[in-house]
Structure 1
Amino acid sequence: MDFWSRLIAGTSLTPAGNKATAKDPEKRLARFKREYSQLLQTWRGASNLARDYEAAENIRDSLQDLTAILSDESRRPLPHPCITFASSKQIYVPIGKIATTSYNEGIIREGVALFATLIDSEEEDFVENETFSRSLMNLLVRITGANSIRLGSETEVEVVELSFNITTKIRLDPEILPAWFATQGREETQIEGQGSHEKFTGKTQKEDFPLFYLLIDYIHHEGRIGDFARTGLLYIIEAASSSVALEQWIVESDLATLMATGLGALYSQLSRKLVIDHPLDDLPPILALSDYQLPHATSEIVSSSSPDFQMHMETFLSHLVFWQDVLNHCKSGEVKSTLLEHFQVIFLQQLLYPSLLESSDVDGGSSVAVLTYLRRILEALDHPDMIHLILHYLLALPDTTPAPTGSRASVSAARKRKSMDLATMMMATQVDTSSTPALFNLVDLIQGGLRSPNEQTISVTLQLVSVILRRHHRYAVTTLLWTSQVLSDGPVRPVGAHEMEMDFILSLAGGIGGDDNFDEVYENHVKDCMAILESHPCSITLVAPKSAGGTTKFPGATATIPGAPRDIRPHTLRPEDPMLKTLLSVMATFFINSIETNLSLTGAVVDLATCGFMRIDGWLLPDPSKYVFEDDDDETEEPISLGLGDSIEEQERAQLRNLKKARRTLNWSKSQIPAFLAQLKTLVEQVTTYRTDIPRFDDLLQQRREAFQAASSATATPVPALSTRLPSPTHIPGTRHPLPLQLPTRTPQPRKSSSGLSGGYGFATPTTSRGAVPPPQFPMNMDSASRGHSHSRAFSPSPLRAGDPRNGVPASQAAAFAAIDQSILARKVGLPPAKGAVPPIPFPNLKAVADEGSKEGSVQDDGSVSGTEEKEKQVEGEEQKLVSVNHILTNVIVLQEFLLELAALVQVRAGLFGEVRYV
C-alpha cells in the first residue's frame, strides 16, 4: 500500500486524520499511549513470539509506529509529551525485554531503532540515565551474544552505529560516563579465588563496561561496522585520561590481550609461502620487455596478486594501523605502556620473530613471505614507539632500565598486576623462549637473504633494506651498516673535484649511448632527488629553518620508550662494510639479474645515500683526504688565511689563490677510486662489449627506449617501472621516476671504451620461454624516422626503416629483417669475460644471414643461424646463467637511468647539504 502511494505525486503517506493528530500534542500523546498499550497487550498475550508470527508482526508494527511518532515529535516545536511520557514511564524497559526475548530480527531491529530515536532526541537525559543504559546494554549484549539469533548485516551495522553514537556523546560530555561505566563491588576473596587466566582475560569485568566489550567484538570487521567499532573504541580510550577509574579499569581489562591476539590471528592467516608475481594481462612494460616468467604458485605457495591474499593483507595492515590510531588517541601513559607491552610479548616475540626465524628458501617461498610482511609492516607504521619496539627487538639492540611511568600509585599498581598476569600466562602456555634475537637477529636474516640463490628472496630483502634505510635510518647505523663517525672539521670536497666526479658519472651514462632528450630526463631526476632528500626523516633537521635557539625540534619524531637510538650524527660507511660488499656482489651480475632485483638494488643504493648525515665520500665518491691533484706543486699547500691588517691587494691575491686551489683537477689514475665507482665502470665496459658483439646493438637499444615511450604515451598517466603487486601505495624502491620512458641526452657522446674488451660470451640457441621476444603490445619495429637525426651520433642503416628510400632497403625485405631482429633479441648470452680471458665463439655474422634471408624471404622460426647451433651448444656452460639479448637491453637502460639518478643525487646533495667547498 505504501509503495504504491509513493508512486502517486502529491499523495501523503499519512492519512489526513493522522496529520491533524500529529500537530496536536494532546492527540499525539493519546495515539502514542494507545499504541504502547496495544504493544504491551500483544506481548503479554503471546506465549512464544518466535513461533507466533502474527503476534510478532503486530509487535513490530507497534514498535515502528512508536518510533515514527517519537521521531516526528522531536522535529516539532515544544511541548514533546510523547518523549516525556517515554521517560517518565520508562517504556524502554519493557521494550528492551520484548526485543531481547523475541528472537525475531524484525522486532530487534525496531527496538534498536526506538532506543536510537530516544538518544537522538537529546531530551529527558536518556543518555545519562542508568536505568536506560542498563536496559539498552542488556538488549545489545543479548542480541549479539553467542546464544542469540544470527543478525543480518544491516541490523548489526545499526547496533554498532548506535554504540558508536553513545561513545560520541561520552567524548563530548565525559560526565555521561558513569551511566555506562561503573566498577562493580567485588570481594577480594572472590577475585583471589579465580585462576590467573580468568583474571588475565578480564572475565570478571565485562559487566562493568559492556559497551566497551561490544565494540571490541567488532573491531576486526570490514566496512562500516568495523569503522564504527574502531572509532568508538578510540573515543573510549581517549576518555580514559579524564577518569582515573576508567584508566585503571582499561589497564586491567583484556583490551591489550584481545588486540594483540587479534592482530596475531590476522597475521597467522597470511600465507606461509609467497611468490611475487604480476598477471600477464597487466604486466608492467619493463617486465614484458625482459625474461620475466610467471612464478609457480601451488596450493601452499600463494601468489601475491591473488585477490584472497590481498584481502588478507589489507585486513592485517588495517588492524595494525588501528593499533597505531589507538596509541595516537591514548593520552594515558599507563594504558599506552600496557598496550605496547602486550604488542611486544604476544605479537613480536611469539609470532613475528618465530616466523622470521623459521623462514627458509628451501621450502619454496617462506623467506619471500616473511620478508615481504615485515617490509609492509614497517611501511604501514609511523608511530615511533611501535617502530622502536619492532626494530629494537628484531635487531637485538641493548636494553636499558625503563624509567617509572605514571604519577598515580593506583594506576601503576594496576599496570604491575597486569604485567605479572602477562608473564604468568606466557609461562602457563609453555612458550619456547630459547631462541631470541641475541642469537639470530634481523641483520643475520638480511645478510642470508642477500646471499640467497633465489632472486625473489634477494629482491624482497633489498626492498626491506630500502625501507629501513629510507624511513628508520637511525636504527641501521649501528646494526645493518658498519659506519664511522665523521668529524665536522674534516676535509670538504672542493668544487674542482666535485665537477670531475660529476663528469665521471655522466660519462659512464654517456658511454651507454642513446639518441634522446637526456636533458629533460636528467632534470626530472634532479627534481625527484630534491624531493626525496628534503623529505627524509633525518635530513629534515638539516634543511628546515632553524628556531631562535639555533635548533629545530620535531615533536613525536622519536620514541618515548627508553632505549631509543640517540640522535643521528654525521657518519660514513667503512670500506669493509658487509652490506656494501653484498651490494657490490649483486651488482657484479647486473645484466643477468632479474629486472626486479636490479630495481630493488638501485633503490637500496639510492636510499643508502639519501640521509643527510650519511656522507657519501669514501664509499660512493673518492675520499677528499686521499685526493691526488694534477698540480703537485700546490698539493701540500694549505689555503691562505686572511688577516684584518692585510691590504686589499693581499686579500684579493689570497682569495684568488684559494679559488684556484679549490678548482684544481684530480688525477684519477692516482686517486683512490671507491669500489662502487669501479664496479659501475666495469658495467659500462661490459655494455661496450655487448655493443661490439651483438649486431645492431645501438639500434635495438634505441628501439627499446622507444618501446618504453610508446607504452608511456599509451596511458593517461606515466607507466610505473614496476609494482610489487601487493596492496601497498608504494612501488618497489628505485622506481620513483618512470623508468626510461624518456632517457637523457645530457651525457657526452658514446665512445668506445679503451679497455679493449671484445669477443663473444657464451651464446646459446634461443628457447621458446615467455619473455625471450618482446610481446606484441610492445613492438620493437617502430619507425624512428620522425624523431629526426640532428644528434651527432648517426644510426647504422636499420632494416626497421625498410620503407624509407634513404636506407636503400626495399619494402619487400621488411618482414625478413624484422624477423632477423627478433632472432637477435631471442639469443641467449651471458656476462662478458673478464679481461685476459679467452672469449667463446662470437655472435654469428648476421649480415650474411640477412642477405640470404632477403633472398629466401624468411628466417628460421626459432632464430637459429645455419652452422652455429652445434657450436653454441658446445660453449654453453652449465653453471653460467644465460639470458636473452632482449633482457640485456632492458637492464642496460636500467643501468643508464641509475647512473643519471646517481649524478642527480650527488649534485643535489652538494647544494642542499653544503658538501662542496668553493674557496
Structure 2
Amino acid sequence: MDFWSRLIANTPLSSKNSAKDAARDPIRRRQRFEKEYSQLLHVWRNCSNLARDVDAAEVLEVRLQELSNILAEESRRPLPHPCISFAATKQIYIPIAKIATTSYNEWIIKEAVLFFASLIESEEESFVENDAFSASLTNLLVRITGANSIRLGLETEVKVVELAFNITTKIRLEPEILPAWFKVHTDAGTQDGKFKDEREKFAGRTQKQDFPLFYLLMDYIHHEGKVGDFARTGLLYIIEAASHSVELEQWIVESDLSTLMATGLGALYSQLSRKLVIDHPPQGLPPVLAFSDYEHPVTTFEIVSSCSPDYQLHMDTFLSHLLFWQDVLNHCRSLEVKSTLLEHFQIIFLQQLLYPSLLESSDVDGGSSVAVLTYLRRILESLDHPDMINLILHYLLALPDTDSSARNSSEPTVSAARKRKSMDLASMMASKMESSYSPLLFNLVDLIHACLKSENDQTVCVTIQLIATILKRHHRYAIVTLLHTQGVDPNISHRTMGAHQQEVEFLMTLASTIGGQDNFDEIYDNILKDTMTRVEGHPCSLKLVAPKVSTHNHKLPAIPDSLPGAPRDVPPHTLSPEDPLLHNLLDIMEQFFINPIEVNLSATEAILDLAVCGYVAIEGWLLRHPRTYVFEDDSDETSSPIPDRSVNPAKEFEKLQAISRCRRRPRWQPSSLPRMLRVLEALADQVVAFRESIPRFDELMQQRREAFQTADAIVSNEQNVPTSSAAGVAAVDPSSRGGSRPASPVRPSALGGFQRILSELSTPSRSGSPRGRNEAARSSGNGSTKSAGHRATTPTSRPIPVPPKEFPLNYNSPGKSPAKSVSGRSFSPSSHDGSGIGGNGSPVASQVAAFAAVDQGILSRRIGLPKLTVEPILLDFNRKQTSKSKNLDDETKYEEVEDDIDPTEAQVAAEEDEIEEHAELQAPKEKEASVSHILTNIVIYQSFLLELASLIQVRAGLFDEVRFA
C-alpha cells in the first residue's frame, strides 16, 4: 500500500503538467473556452432575477473572469487563436453585454468590461470594425453609465473610460473604422439635389445616439485622476479625427461640445473664491519675508487664503480644464470646429463671467480685486495658444476690431451648421443678458491704473504681477494699451560710449553707497549670466538674437494667429517719459524702504520687464536721451590723436575724431536725468541717512547678508525643518540671530519653520564677519547681494574700488567720517575671538549677550523715511567740476538776488513756515517700519541696482545700442 500511496501522491504533479499542455494545445484550449461559455449561458438563462441572486452572480463573475484569462493567455501564444475566432464567429459578446447590463452588479460589469478590452487588445478578427460589436459595446457603456445605472466604484470607472479611450485610439490610428461608431440617424435634407459645398449636406440636429462614445467621454472630462485623463485625451482624438470626416466635423459643430465645455469652464471658475488673500504657509515662509515685517493676512469664512488646500484644489482643477481647452484647439484641424469653440469661449466665459468679475471687483470689500487679478494672471501664465490669448486680451483691453470686409475675405466659407450654431448662441445670450457690459467704458487698463493707487498692499502687489506677466509673455498687446509709446529715431536714439560708461558707473556708485564685504565680482558675473538668459528668452527678442543662417533663409514665421484683430509684431519704440504706468511704478518706488517686501520685489521685476524687450529703446525714460547731452569745452576731451597723414587718408582722420567724440562723457546735469535715475538717487540718499541714524548700521547689514546666505543654504539642503514648541520660539529672540526681524508680541510670528535657521544664525563668530575693517572703505564699497543667493568664499574680499570722480560721495558735514555710526562703536560681537565664548561666566560671552540685546533693540525699533537734510549725492556734480561754467554764474546771480530780499517778504516766508509746521503736526502719521524690515529692503535695492547695470550692459552688447563713432 505504501508503494501505491506514493504513486497517488504524484498525481497532482501529473495533472499540473496536463493543465500546461492543455493551455499550449489550441484544440483543448478552445474546448475549455466553450465549456466556460456554456456554463455562463446556462447560469444566466436559469436565473430569473440576477440582481437578487447572489450565488448566480458570483458564478457568472467567475466564469467571465475565466473567459478573459483564457483570451489574455491566448493572445500571448503563437497562432492559431481558436478562442478569439470562436468569440468572433459566435458573437458571444452580445449575450455577455446583455448579462452585464441586466445584472446591476458592479463585479459582473467590471469583468464584462475587461472581457471587451481583451477582444479589442487582441487586434484580430476586426472587432472594432464590426457593427454588431460596436453596437453591443456601445449599448453596454451607455447602460452602465446612464442615469438609471448603479453607482460604479472608482476602479470600475477607470476601466470603463479606459475602454472608451482605447476605442478612440483605434479611430485615430485607423480613421476608416469611424463609421462603425459614428452613425448619423437623421436624414440629410436635400433641396433640389444640389449642394454648393459637401458640408451643406449636413442639415440635422445632433443626437446622442449618433455618437454615444463622444458623449460618454464628455461626461468624464471634468473628473480628476486617470478617469479625467482618459476622457480628455479620448475626446481630443475624436476631435482630431474630424479632419477626416466632413459629417463628423459638422456634427461636432452642432453638438453640445462647445456649449458644455464653455459652461463647464464657467462653473469651475465660479467655484473659485470671490475674495482672496495671498499668504505663505508658516512652515514655508521665504527668508526674504521672514526677515521683514511680514504679517499673515486675516482670513474669514468669505476671505480665503491662497495657502488653503480647497483653494489650491479648485484652482488646479480650473487651470487643468483651461489647458484642456488649449489642447483641444491644438489638436483640432477643422477651422469650423475651432471657430465654434472660440466663439463660445468668448461669449459664455469671457463676456458673461470673467469680465463682469473684473468689473464688479472692489478694493474695499476684503480682497475681491486681489482674487480676480490673481485669477487673470494665472490664466495668462497658463495659456500659450495665440487664439485664446488674443480673445482674452483683445476683449479685456478693448482693442479695436478689424474691418469686416478684410475679415470676411480671410475666413473660409461658413457652413449652414456653423451659422445655425452661432444664431442659437446669440439668441441664448440675448435671453440671459438684461444689461450689457462693454470694455469700451471700463477696460483692464483702467482697472490696473486704479489698483496701482490702492491703499491695500496686496492689491498693488498682484496688480504689478499681472503687469509683469503681460509684459513678459504678451508684450505686443501692452504697447498699444498699457504703455504709452513713441517712435524712435535711429540716428539719435542710441547713447554714446562715454555716456554708457558714465551711466553704468552711476548705478554702481549708488550700489557702493551701501557697501558690503561679499565677493561681488562673482555675484555680478552671475547676475550678468541671468540677465543674458532673460533678455535672450524674451518673446520679442527672438528675431533679434536668432542667428541668420543665410541671406535668403532667415525670416521667422509670422505670428500663428488664425483670428483677425491681433496686434502686429512689436515695432521699434520707446516708452514715453510721461507714461502713467511708469510713473505709478515710480511712485511706489519712492516709498521703497517702508514698502512690503513682496511689493518691492514685484515692482523691480516689472521695471526690468519694461526694459528687457529688444525693440524698446531705454534712452529717454531709463537713461538720458542723447539729445540732452551737453559736453564741456575742454580741449583735452575733444582732442584726438594726430594720425600719420602719409599712411591714413582724411577719412580715417575724421573717423578717429568721431570715435574720440563718442568717448567724451557728457556733463552730468540733474535736470537731464529721467525720473527713474532721480528716484534711485533719492533712495541712495535715504540709505546714507539711515547709516547716520541707525547705530551699527554696517554690522547689521553684513549680518543680514549672511543671514540670507545661511537661510538659502539650509532651505536648499533640508526641506523638512522640525519645528519647536511655542515656548521655545518665545525663549529664542529671533532679532538677535544674525539680523533677522524682531518677534513682535502684537502680531503672530511669521518665522514659522525658520527657527532652526535663526539658531544657526545666532553663532557670534561667523566666517566673513566684518572684523576690524576700515569704516571709510566700507562706506564706499561696491556691490550687493542678490537675494542672499551667493555666499562669499573668503572672509575678506577684494579691495573695493573708489567711485569715479563724476560722483563724489560727500554725505556728511565736514570733519565727520562718512560711515561712522551714531553710536560711535568701532567693534561688534563678531569681531571678538570666539575661544572664550563657551564658558557661561566668560567676559566675552557676557559682552556678546549684551551686544545681542543691543542689536535686538535696534532691529525692533520702528522708524519712518528720513527727511534728507544734506544735498543729494550727485546734484552738485557740474558745480564742483567746472568753476567757470554757466552754472557758477547762475549761482552767483542767485546769491545776489537772495541778498536783495525785502524784510517783509522774509517775515511772510517765516509765517508760511510756521503754518506748514502746524499742518505737519496735524497731518496723519507717516508709515513706519522696523529697522530689520528696512535692512532687507536695502539688500533688495542694492541687488536691483546691479541688475539694472547688468541689463544696460547686456543690451549694449546684444542689440548694438552704443555708438562708438
> Per the shorter chain, which TM-score range?
0.7 to 0.9
Structure 1 distance, partners of 2:558, 2:665, is 46
Matching residue of 1:848:
none
Structure 2 distance, partners of 1:545, 1:718, is 43
| Alpha carbons of structure 1 residues 309 and 553: separation in structure 2 relative to 1, 3 Å | farther
Superposed displacement of residue 769, structure 1: 3.5
| Alpha carbons of structure 1 residues 825 and 286: separation in structure 2 relative to 1, 3 Å | same
Matching residue of 2:694:
694
- Structure 1 residue 778 corresponds to structure 2 residue 758: yes
Matching residue of 2:747:
769
| Alpha carbons of structure 1 residues 236 and 17: separation in structure 2 relative to 1, 3 Å | same
Superposed displacement of residue 811, structure 1: 3.2
Which secondary structure does the structure 2 equivalent of 1:564 belong to? Answer: coil
Which secondary structure does the structure 2 equivalent of 1:274 belong to? Answer: strand
5 Å-filtered alignment, 1:76-95, equals: 76-95=77-96
Q: 4+ residue runs of structure 1 moved beyond 6 angstroms?
A: 11-14, 405-408, 632-637, 764-767, 771-775, 805-809, 874-877
Farther-moved stretch of structure 1 (220-229 vs 667-676): 667-676
Matching residue of 1:235:
237
| Alpha carbons of structure 1 residues 173 and 188: separation in structure 2 relative to 1, 3 Å | closer
Matching residue of 2:961:
915
Q: Which of these residues, 547, 551, 572, is aligned with residue 574 of structure 2?
A: 572
Please give the per-residue CA displacement for 1:595-620, whole angstroms capped at 9, x wherever unaligned.
00000000000111111111111000
Structure 2 distance, partners of 1:769, 1:565, is 49
Q: Which of these residues, 612, 615, 633, is aligned with residue 614 of structure 2?
A: 612
Alpha-carbon contact 1:70-1:117 (below 8 Å) kept = yes
Alpha-carbon contact 1:275-1:304 (below 8 Å) kept = yes
Alpha-carbon contact 1:772-1:886 (below 8 Å) kept = no
Alpha-carbon contact 1:493-1:917 (below 8 Å) kept = yes
Matching residue of 2:856:
822
| Alpha carbons of structure 1 residues 408 and 772: separation in structure 2 relative to 1, 3 Å | closer
Q: Which of these residues, 418, 423, 434, is aligned with residue 420 of structure 1?
A: 423
Matching residue of 2:705:
705
| Alpha carbons of structure 1 residues 575 and 646: separation in structure 2 relative to 1, 3 Å | farther
5 Å-filtered alignment, 1:337-486, equals: 337-400=339-402, 401=404, 403-404=407-408, 412-428=415-431, 430-486=432-488
Alpha-carbon contact 1:289-1:771 (below 8 Å) kept = no
Structure 2 distance, partners of 1:161, 1:74, is 20
- Structure 1 residue 879 corresponds to structure 2 residue 925: yes
- Structure 1 residue 263 corresponds to structure 2 residue 265: yes
Alpha-carbon contact 1:703-1:782 (below 8 Å) kept = no
Alpha-carbon contact 2:765-2:833 (below 8 Å) kept = no
Alpha-carbon contact 1:285-1:778 (below 8 Å) kept = no
Which secondary structure does the structure 1 equivalent of 2:540 belong to? Answer: coil
5 Å-filtered alignment, 1:896-911, equals: 896-911=942-957
Superposed displacement of residue 784, structure 1: 5.5
Superposed displacement of residue 766, structure 1: 7.8
Superposed displacement of residue 913, structure 1: 0.6
Matching residue of 2:648:
648
For 2:420, the aligned partner's letter is R
| Alpha carbons of structure 1 residues 14 and 175: separation in structure 2 relative to 1, 3 Å | farther
Structure 2 distance, partners of 1:342, 1:426, is 10
Alpha-carbon contact 1:269-1:312 (below 8 Å) kept = yes
Superposed displacement of residue 106, structure 1: 0.8
Please give the per-residue CA displacement for 1:145-167, whole angstroms capped at 9, x wherever unaligned.
11110101111101111111111
For 1:482, the aligned partner's letter is H
Superposed displacement of residue 489, structure 1: 3.1
5 Å-filtered alignment, 1:123-522, equals: 123-186=124-187, 204-400=206-402, 401=404, 403-404=407-408, 412-428=415-431, 430-522=432-524
| Alpha carbons of structure 1 residues 29 and 661: separation in structure 2 relative to 1, 3 Å | same
Please give the per-residue CA displacement for 1:816-843, whole angstroms capped at 9, x wherever unaligned.
2211110110001011125589xxxxxx
TM-score using structure 2 length: 0.80
Structure 1 distance, partners of 2:947, 2:13, is 70
Q: Which of these residues, 774, 796, 799, is aligned with residue 829 of structure 2?
A: 799
- Structure 1 residue 589 corresponds to structure 2 residue 594: no
| Alpha carbons of structure 1 residues 173 and 187: separation in structure 2 relative to 1, 3 Å | closer
Superposed displacement of residue 663, structure 1: 0.3
For 2:101, the aligned partner's letter is T
Please give the per-residue CA displacement for 1:354-396, whole angstroms capped at 9, x wherever unaligned.
1111111111011111100100000001111110000000000
For 2:850, the aligned partner's letter is A
**Paired positions, count:** 813
Superposed displacement of residue 81, structure 1: 1.8
Structure 2 distance, partners of 1:915, 1:127, is 64
Alpha-carbon contact 1:558-1:564 (below 8 Å) kept = no
Alpha-carbon contact 1:802-1:813 (below 8 Å) kept = no
For 1:425, the aligned partner's letter is M
Structure 1 distance, partners of 2:26, 2:745, is 88
Query: Which runs of no fewer than 5 residues in structure 1 stay unpaired?
Result: 1-10, 190-201, 720-741, 743-763, 838-873
Alpha-carbon contact 1:96-1:136 (below 8 Å) kept = yes
5 Å-filtered alignment, 1:819-898, equals: 819-835=853-869, 878-898=924-944
Structure 2 distance, partners of 1:293, 1:831, is 20
Farther-moved stretch of structure 1 (321-330 vs 628-637): 628-637
| Alpha carbons of structure 1 residues 606 and 320: separation in structure 2 relative to 1, 3 Å | same
| Alpha carbons of structure 1 residues 372 and 565: separation in structure 2 relative to 1, 3 Å | same
Structure 1 distance, partners of 2:137, 2:751, is 69
Superposed displacement of residue 67, structure 1: 1.3
Superposed displacement of residue 26, structure 1: 2.2
Which secondary structure does the structure 1 equivalent of 2:571 belong to? Answer: coil
CA RMSD of the aligned region, Å? Answer: 3.1
Structure 2 distance, partners of 1:787, 1:835, is 34
Structure 2 distance, partners of 1:646, 1:365, is 77
The percent of aligned pairs where both chains have the same amino acid is 61
Which secondary structure does the structure 2 equivalent of 1:302 belong to? Answer: strand
Structure 1 distance, partners of 2:564, 2:573, is 24
Alpha-carbon contact 2:296-2:750 (below 8 Å) kept = no
Superposed displacement of residue 88, structure 1: 1.3
Structure 2 distance, partners of 1:806, 1:663, is 58
Alpha-carbon contact 1:773-1:886 (below 8 Å) kept = no
Superposed displacement of residue 234, structure 1: 1.0
Superposed displacement of residue 347, structure 1: 0.7
| Alpha carbons of structure 1 residues 806 and 66: separation in structure 2 relative to 1, 3 Å | closer
Superposed displacement of residue 34, structure 1: 1.9
| Alpha carbons of structure 1 residues 800 and 675: separation in structure 2 relative to 1, 3 Å | same
| Alpha carbons of structure 1 residues 344 and 415: separation in structure 2 relative to 1, 3 Å | same
TM-score using structure 1 length: 0.84
Structure 2 distance, partners of 1:648, 1:210, is 86
Structure 1 distance, partners of 2:171, 2:262, is 26
- Structure 1 residue 48 corresponds to structure 2 residue 49: yes
| Alpha carbons of structure 1 residues 667 and 522: separation in structure 2 relative to 1, 3 Å | same
Alpha-carbon contact 1:802-1:809 (below 8 Å) kept = no
For 2:424, the aligned partner's letter is D
Please give the per-residue CA displacement for 1:839-885, whole angstroms capped at 9, x wherever unaligned.
xxxxxxxxxxxxxxxxxxxxxxxxxxxxxxxxxxx989743111111
Superposed displacement of residue 242, structure 1: 1.1
Alpha-carbon contact 1:334-1:406 (below 8 Å) kept = no
| Alpha carbons of structure 1 residues 230 and 765: separation in structure 2 relative to 1, 3 Å | closer
Matching residue of 1:871:
none
Matching residue of 1:787:
768
- Structure 1 residue 545 corresponds to structure 2 residue 525: no
Structure 2 distance, partners of 1:504, 1:107, is 79
Structure 1 distance, partners of 2:363, 2:85, is 71
| Alpha carbons of structure 1 residues 187 and 330: separation in structure 2 relative to 1, 3 Å | closer
| Alpha carbons of structure 1 residues 507 and 494: separation in structure 2 relative to 1, 3 Å | same
Alpha-carbon contact 2:765-2:832 (below 8 Å) kept = no
5 Å-filtered alignment, 1:715-734, equals: 715-716=715-716
Superposed displacement of residue 650, structure 1: 2.3
